[in-house]
Structure 1
Amino acid sequence: MAKVLKLPYLPELAGTLLLPLVIVLLCLPLRDWISPTDVAMLQLLWVAWQAQHYGWRWASGTTLVSVLLLNWCFVPPYYTFDVHDASFFISFVVMVLLGLLISLLSDHLKQQVKRLRYAMSQTRGMYMLAKGLGQRPDWQQQCNYTAKLLSRRLGCAVQVIQGEQPPQSTNAVLAVGTPARAWIVVPDACLTSHPTLLHTAQSLLAQSYARLELSEKAQQDRVTAQLEQQKAMLLRSLSHDLRTPLATIMGASSMLADPELPLSTEQRQQQAQNIYQQSQILNQHFEKVLELSKAQLTTHQIQHSAFSSDDLVAGALARRGEQAAELSANLQCSPSAPLTGDLELLEIALANLLENALRHGTAPFELTMGQHASGYFIKLTNGIKSAVPAARDKGHGLGLNICQVVAALHQGKFDLRIDEAAEKVTAAMEWPL
């Protein structure tokens, strides 16, 4: 198969040499009816088109060729370059100057349009990058989006590599952030032709990383503030719930230890029984304090795992050994559902919910667990023993504090609602996916 010979600048040469000749040949039969000025106007029209598409250099050459052809075919004596009328020299000079002026102005306008299109393209790229980064909350997604967008806009392979150490590459490497959190690897030619877009991408990506860091720190500060609030509530609960059994123990033991106070055997047994019962209450309080301390000490160390709701119920009942049988007899659980979170902390929270329901509510205990659109939930509903629950009860406050801390550690919330009209209490814990 024969090879096709490709000549460089073939369209420009044809436009410079052939088209002016075609215009003159088309006008030649009308030489007796049109003036050389009319032909010159047609030639200048073609010069303007040539300047717009191929630049002022080719348009200037077209002007010179057009002047020569006009002199050859339309200025007497015909088919010579002699000019007997000096006025035609002025026409030729004006035509050359007009052609050059049109060429320069058209080329200048073309360059302005080119710069404007380049600026609009760069601005659109910056807008799309800023908008896309704002829609992606994950750092990895932001890096991938930046690399994809820059590769498409620049027409070359662009990489965004995470890490503090610069990658080994023969291409240009731009650091993102100070200190560097990522690196933009781009060919040197693209960096030379599109420096504004690349440096803007470098700055926007660094700002996005800083925004993510601030958001994460703000979230950590909110969790810390919630934990501090829980600690304050814990101190109030301890000062309130521990005083009564401790005062009872101290009073009964002081009576038994007083040699001047005559007590019968039955009275001594009664005081010993009071000491034992109040000691059990104190022991339960301290167990809850240990559970709450464990929950608070696991900040930033939550072990997320997948498990079923049946596993969670079984673990929670196992933590309340003596009460497990009574709870199981009155507990109505929803069908098994998959959950995700820290299983140990959620077992502690559910165990306290069940214990509060057993102590301060009435059966049946309706337990519902599962997943909804925004995350996971645990909901326990039971009856009310009295219309107005006591403000202080045995461990009630500490149990709620534990549930609130566990919910806060899971970035969720805990809510306790008392419906006196329906004589129902609903405790609900929610946390995001």
Structure 2
Amino acid sequence: MSTPISPLTSPARHATWPEYLLAIAACGLTTAITIPLHDWLEPVNTVMLFLLTVVLIATRLGRGPAVLASFLSVGLFDFFYVPPRWSFAVSDAQYLLTFAVMLVVALVISQLTISLRLRAHEAQQAAQRSDALYSLASHLAGALEVEQVCDATQHFTQNQLHSSMRLMLPGHGDELAPALPTQAPLSTTMALMALAVYRDYKGHGAQHAGDDEQLHVLLPLAGSTRARGVLIISTSHAKAQQLDTQRTLLDALASLVATSLERLHFVNVAHQTQLEMNDERLRGSILSALSHDIRTPLTSLFGLADTLTLMQPPLPAPAQDMASAIRDQAMRLHSMVSNLLDMARLQSGQQAGQLPLRLEWQPIEEVIGASIQLLGHSLHGHRITVQLPDKLPLIAIDAVLMERVFGNLLENASKYAPPGTDIHVQAQTSPGQMQISVRNAGAGFPADKLSHVFEVFERGQPESTIPGVGLGLSICRVIVEAHGGHIEALNPPEGGAEVCFTLPLGTPPTIEPEQDLEADGGPDAAPDATLDTDLEARR
């Protein structure tokens, strides 16, 4: 996957005694080669050979042996080549300048050679690390699971940093969990530090010297929108200083891992979205089939059963009861199918942002009354008590859809209320909104489902014998939210179940005083009659 850094001899390290001895031997070899050529070589050429030896020693052995070779070359040149030979005495003072220049040049050349070698060593390390990071990025780009991200990252840290790593990812709530089940759990101190680094994901991480004689470097994995986890690099204390010098590499590693984890997250989100879209298409196809293939025979079945109940002469009593039962069950099934189709249409319009609303300024008490009258015998003998303030303002609503909301809430309340109990409808205003509630005296909603009862096909009591498919409250939520309101389910302290929803008030139009209308010759009942006619036509 990645190539480990080659074990080059570092120019900054301390030389060993064998290397000093090798420098002395090299200077001695240069002297042995040049002594027989003394009569043919000029002193300046001999100096060049000694300087060449210093360069070679600096290149191969480092700074210490090179400095030793510089002084040793000056001494050998003085002893063997400067008159009087075979002694360190100097007959001409000019040779002192030669010695000084030779020593300075040798030291400068050795230093330049060491610096050049150091730069070459750093350039080679940087190139190898760039190749390793490129290789890691390639493997992370092709990773499809978190396990593959961990494997690629572990291989990189072992080869390039000679360390081990652990990847901590966010779990339930605000906790961090190991990315792999095989990873050892963190100590309490490490877990708290990792959580702090995760929360401050825009920081620079932290370091911790653990009781296991290892240094742990904690790096935040910062994504574009939020933290993706914490990367922990662990190494021995002996290699801690080396790890400190690799901060740029560590930051690059953390950035690559964070990018890979974020990519996996968005790929998973896209996959889930695609599944939901496919589910939505399938549901639309099923509902379309229901619309064309089931509603028509249901209508025919209801009509035939109703005809049987009205036949003259009447059918025998058992047959009459069976025909009535068939008619009632067909009507119930027709109502369920209608709910399914209405829910599909409402959701499609809501998702497209085009849910058609015919908003008109209406008195809410008339909508409530129309809903109660429409339900009729389906309320199962429950008495409906309506408590409204004396002066409720008009509210901009789609009266037909809002009748559907009250009808579903009242029918649902009557199903689950004990026989003979009252169902209470209340309305009141607060700044900017109207609050409406429907409450019964039943057992209430299950406490663990208060936030789910408005979901599609969700029922308060899944095993209940009470008929229904769990669409009534879902339809209510879609209609209320389309009006800009909010709906919720409650269990009041006094018992029973309560559904509350709010509607925005807006600014209703000004209604002229009654005497003005009479002066204009307009009867009081005309607007109400027009409203009733309009509601009846829209049903």
Q: TM-score range, shorter-chain basis?
A: 0.5 to 0.7
**Residue 237 of structure 1 pairs with residue 280 of structure 2:** no
Pair 1:231–1:243, CA change in 2 (3 A):
same
Q: CA deviation at 1:69?
A: 1.0
Q: CA deviation at 1:216?
A: 0.7
Q: CA deviation at 1:148?
A: 2.0
Counterpart pick for 1:139 among 146, 162, 172: 146
Counterpart pick for 1:192 among 244, 257, 273: 244
Q: CA deviation at 1:132?
A: 1.3
Query: Which is worse superposed, 48-57 or 112-121?
Result: 48-57
Task: Please give the root-mean-square deviation of Cα atoms over the aligned residues, in Å.
Answer: 3.3
CA deviation string 1:290-323 (max 9, x = no partner): xxx9xxxxxxxxxxxxxxxxxxxxxxxxxxxxxx
Counterpart pick for 2:95 among 76, 88, 91: 88
Counterpart pick for 1:37 among 40, 44, 58: 44
Q: CA deviation at 1:158?
A: 0.8
Partner of 1:121: 128
Q: CA deviation at 1:229?
A: 2.2
Kept after mapping to 2: 8 A contact 1:147/1:158: yes
Partner of 2:34: 27
- 2-structure distance, mates of 1:242, 1:9: 94
Pair 1:177–1:60, CA change in 2 (3 A):
closer
CA deviation string 1:22-45 (max 9, x = no partner): 322332223222222222111111
Give the match's secondary structure for 1:181: strand
Amino acid at match of 1:247: T
- 2-structure distance, mates of 1:68, 1:173: 52
Amino acid at match of 1:184: I
What's the % identity of the aligned pairs? 28
- 1-structure distance, mates of 2:219, 2:90: 69
Amino acid at match of 2:267: S
Partner of 2:370: none
Amino acid at match of 1:41: M
- 2-structure distance, mates of 1:119, 1:147: 20
Kept after mapping to 1: 8 A contact 2:228/2:261: no
Q: CA deviation at 1:53?
A: 1.8
Pair 1:69–1:190, CA change in 2 (3 A):
closer
Amino acid at match of 2:254: Q
- 1-structure distance, mates of 2:64, 2:112: 12
**Residue 220 of structure 1 pairs with residue 272 of structure 2:** yes
Kept after mapping to 2: 8 A contact 1:31/1:74: yes
Kept after mapping to 1: 8 A contact 2:20/2:68: no
Q: CA deviation at 1:109?
A: 0.5
Q: CA deviation at 1:47?
A: 0.5
Pair 1:46–1:17, CA change in 2 (3 A):
same
Q: TM-score, normalised by structure 1?
A: 0.55
Q: CA deviation at 1:64?
A: 1.6
Query: Which is worse superposed, 208-217 or 166-175?
Result: 166-175
- 1-structure distance, mates of 2:39, 2:300: 133
Amino acid at match of 2:27: P
- 1-structure distance, mates of 2:23, 2:310: 126
CA deviation string 1:79-130 (max 9, x = no partner): 2222223332333233222212211211111111111012112211211111
Kept after mapping to 1: 8 A contact 2:309/2:315: no
Higher RCO (CA < 8 A, seq sep 6+): 1
- 2-structure distance, mates of 1:147, 1:189: 20
Amino acid at match of 1:199: D
Question: What are the residue-to-residue correspondences of 1:12-23 with 2, within 5 Å?
Answer: 12-23=19-30
Partner of 1:401: none
Kept after mapping to 1: 8 A contact 2:221/2:228: yes
Partner of 2:308: 256
Partner of 2:166: 160
**Residue 177 of structure 1 pairs with residue 221 of structure 2:** yes
Write 1 or 2 for the structure with the bigger share of helix: 1
- Could you tell me which runs of 5 or more consecutive residues in structure 2 were left unpaired when the two chains were aligned: 1-14, 170-175, 178-184, 188-209, 345-539
Q: CA deviation at 1:142?
A: 1.3
Q: TM-score, normalised by structure 2?
A: 0.45
Partner of 1:205: 257
Q: CA deviation at 1:221?
A: 0.9
**Residue 66 of structure 1 pairs with residue 66 of structure 2:** no
CA deviation string 1:136-192 (max 9, x = no partner): 2110121122112210222x2412244516823442132453546353232134522
Q: CA deviation at 1:57?
A: 3.8
- 1-structure distance, mates of 2:242, 2:148: 23
Kept after mapping to 2: 8 A contact 1:71/1:81: yes
Kept after mapping to 1: 8 A contact 2:54/2:66: yes
Amino acid at match of 1:29: P
Give the match's secondary structure for 1:183: strand
Give the match's secondary structure for 1:20: helix
Pair 1:249–1:77, CA change in 2 (3 A):
same
Kept after mapping to 2: 8 A contact 1:129/1:146: yes
- 1-structure distance, mates of 2:25, 2:299: 115
Kept after mapping to 2: 8 A contact 1:51/1:59: yes
- 1-structure distance, mates of 2:302, 2:124: 88
- 2-structure distance, mates of 1:14, 1:149: 39
Partner of 1:320: none
Amino acid at match of 1:203: S
- Could you tell me which runs of 5 or more consecutive residues in structure 1 were left unpaired when the two chains were aligned: 1-7, 294-433
- 1-structure distance, mates of 2:217, 2:67: 43
Kept after mapping to 2: 8 A contact 1:75/1:83: yes
Partner of 1:384: none
